[in-house]
Each structure stands twice: as C-alpha cells, then as structure tokens.
Amino acid sequence: MIFLDIDGVMLSAAGWKPVENLEDGFSAFSKKAVDCLQHLVNETNASIVLTTSHKSTYPLNQWNHIFETRNLNVTICDKLDDNLISLNRKDEILNYLNAHPEIENYVIIDDDKSLNDLPQSVKEKLVLTSSLIGLTQENIERAIEILTHPTLVGI
C-alpha cells in the first residue's frame, strides 16, 4: 500500500513555477515523478491510498482516470476520509491506519514535515520528499526497500 500525496510529490510545490492544468482541470504531474511512481508500482504491485488535500475533490473512479490520463497504470483503491475537522496529515494517516488494522505493509510518500512527528513504528515507513523537487529515484529506491523488506525497516 502506498499512501500518496500529490503536491510536492507528483508535482513541484514551488510557488514561483506556473502549474499546468490538463483538460480534466487537475494539475499535470512531472514526468520524472510519473516514471518514479510507475517504477514503484511495477516493482511492488502496490495500490494507492490518496492522502492529498485534493482527495475529496473527485470520487475514486475519477482519480483513477486522472492518473491514467497522466500515463500511470496504477490502482487508487481508497483515500483518507474527508478532513472536516482540519486534522493535520499525521493525524489523518494515523486515524486511517487505526481504522484499517489489516494494513501492515505500506509506505507513506509525502512532503509534509508534520509527518516527522509520527510514532517511530510508522515514521520508519515514511519517505519524505522535497516539495521543491518532488518524487525522485532515490525516494523510490527507499520506498521499494520499505515495501519489499518490511522486517528490515528501522534497522
């Protein structure tokens, strides 16, 4: 399972760079991030839970179409609950994990620094990206390691 953010991961969150929107009205992803995410999914066969602040903008079937339009052959199986009480990302993810105790093997890919406050057992599964750069090959190598060798995480 991949807990995936979009801004700062699939596209740069650099405020001075104009964001290109595609015909579906959502931002284009960086080609580098697309290649990296597809490599991760190909290597691990993991599905995706969206953690992005945009998660409530579209239903899951439309999210799957958005990713497909951006040349990603992935499965978006779920998203975090609508954040009606303005929780931070850390608490949103912890609530989701508590509600889904069957999820043991996962990686969190995000640029949100509040995730540094996750409990150590969860933080070990965090790949923190640079919001100005987005997803990199180095991030993906760490994510593959987390997903394919979960017992070695934290060692």
Q: Which amino acid is at 6?
A: I
> What domains sit in the chain, N to C, each tagged with a CATH number?
2-152 (3.40.50.1000)
How buried is residue 4: exposed, middle or buried, by Cβ count under 10 Å (0-12/13-18/19+)? Answer: buried
Is 46 in contact with 1 (CB distance < 8 Å)? yes
pLDDT in 10s for each residue of the chain, 155 residues = 999 999 999 998 766 666 777 888 889 999 999 999 999 999 999 999 999 988 988 999 999 999 999 999 999 999 988 776 778 899 999 999 999 999 999 999 999 999 999 999 999 999 999 999 999 999 999 999 999 986 665 54
Q: Give the pTM.
A: 0.91
Please calculate the CA angle 20-23-24 and round it to the nearest 5 degrees.
100
Report CA 22 to chain centroid distance, whole Å.
20
Q: Which amino acid is at 127?
A: V
